[in-house]
Amino acid sequence: MFEKLQADYHRFQEIERSLVDPDVTADASRVASLARERGALAKLCVPYGRYLELGRQIDEAEALAESESDPEMRSYAEGEIAGLRDKQAEVGESLRDLLYDRQAGADHAALIMEIRAGTGGDEAALFARDLYEMYRRFAEAQGWKFELLDMEATELGGFREVSFSVKGEAAFRNLQFESGGHRVQRVPETEAQGRIHTSAATVAVLPEPEDVEIDIRTEDLQIDVMRSGGPGGQHQNKTESGVRITHLPSGLVVNCRDERSQHKNKAKAMRILRSRLYEQIQENARSQRDQARRSLIGSGDRSQRIRTYNFPQNRVTDHRINLTLYNLDQVIQGSLLPLTRALIDHDRRESLGDL
């Protein structure tokens, strides 16, 4: 059932034997290298070993039940077999999740999200703010760390664009499919005659890699300072604390002006740049590996409309999986789990099939 794990599991067992071999333990550098490799494999191989052990116990219990002539003892053995099968099924389900996370790149603990107002003027900027608040509430409800990185506000309190980081267990797993175009249908606060308007915002979800995953050379960067913008904020307008970083090989440009400290803005801009570069690498790999499957749930491109929020009908529709819910009032307050779980389940089925 888990053929993909066999090679890793055999290597894991080989390392386990090596770590108790006196010839190996005498070499400290080799022990350290093997220990790191073992740590990387353990997340999947330890539960896989448990899965195999439960299979062995089931085989033994079945053989014992078949050879048992006493009806009471046979009934006891069959009950034990049922319990072992339930445990194996539970471990197997956990393994499927781990395999999915590894294959889908969903095992990151941190991510950066960027929201930009699209068509719709002031109403689009207000919708971008609503999306930001929706994700902030969702992150807080899940116990994740939420950090504002950069924001460009409008006079009415909306956001032309905003970026923030989310960090916590299963954060990227739950938010990985939020990238794309989000459309809202509602009566704007600025509409005097009660007419429904349609506007949009775009969302990008970028896995935030560890420093060691992306090597950015200093000579590949052009760093400019600028005066911070935004409504109000006299200090922002008088000091050159804003930072613009251009990654010359890729042409990526990142602006960060939320902090009063130029040093802090530079650090935040580097985090965003690192995530964008990592996502660029990941996207290239995905398109080469599984373009056909990904097209079923969407590429995550900002130009693709993925979801509609219809306030008059209290309706939210995810167009990729044809899911419609009539609890928009709860969703916009951060109750996103029914949506995110449905998207994960869909992608998991497409990714793993009947594994």
Q: Is the pLDDT of residue 340 over 80?
A: yes
The larger pLDDT score, comparing residue 346 to residue 106, is at 346
In CATH, what number does 110-352 get? 3.30.70.1660
pLDDT at 299: 47
Q: Is the pLDDT of residue 237 over 80?
A: no
Q: Is 305 helix (H, G, I), strand (E, B) or coil?
A: strand
Strand bridging mode 305-310 / 180-186: parallel
The mean pLDDT value for 127-150 works out to: 95
In the chain, where the domains are located:
3-104, 110-352
Q: What percent of the chain has pLDDT over 70?
A: 84
Global pTM?
0.63
The larger pLDDT score, comparing residue 334 to residue 1, is at 334
- Nearest CA to 101 out of 353, 352, 355, 354 is that of 352
Tokens linked to 300: 């995550």
Tokens linked to 274: 């690192």
- Nearest CA to 296 out of 347, 249, 240 is that of 347
CB contact at 8 A, 230 and 236: yes
Q: Is the pLDDT of residue 292 over 50?
A: no
pLDDT at 94: 85
Burial class (CB in 10 A: 0-12, 13-18, 19+), 252: middle
Q: Is the pLDDT of residue 125 over 90?
A: yes
Say how far apart CA 166 and CA 130 lie, in whole Å.
17
The mean pLDDT value for 261-279 works out to: 85
Residue type, 298: G
In CATH, what number does 3-104 get? 1.20.58
Q: Give tens-digit pLDDT for 161-220.
A: 999 999 998 898 899 899 999 999 999 876 667 788 999 999 999 888 665 457 788 888
Tokens linked to 225: 């300072």
227 phi and psi angles, rounded to 5 deg: -75, 135
Say how far apart CA 146 and CA 348 lie, in whole Å.
27
CB contact at 8 A, 274 and 151: no
Q: Is the pLDDT of residue 301 over 90?
A: no
DSSP, res 347:
H
Maximum distance among all Cα pairs of the chain, rounded to whole angstroms = 91
pLDDT at 232: 46
pLDDT at 144: 95
Paired residues of 324 in beta bridges: 317
Say how far apart CA 95 and CA 46 lie, in whole Å.
10
Residue type, 200: A
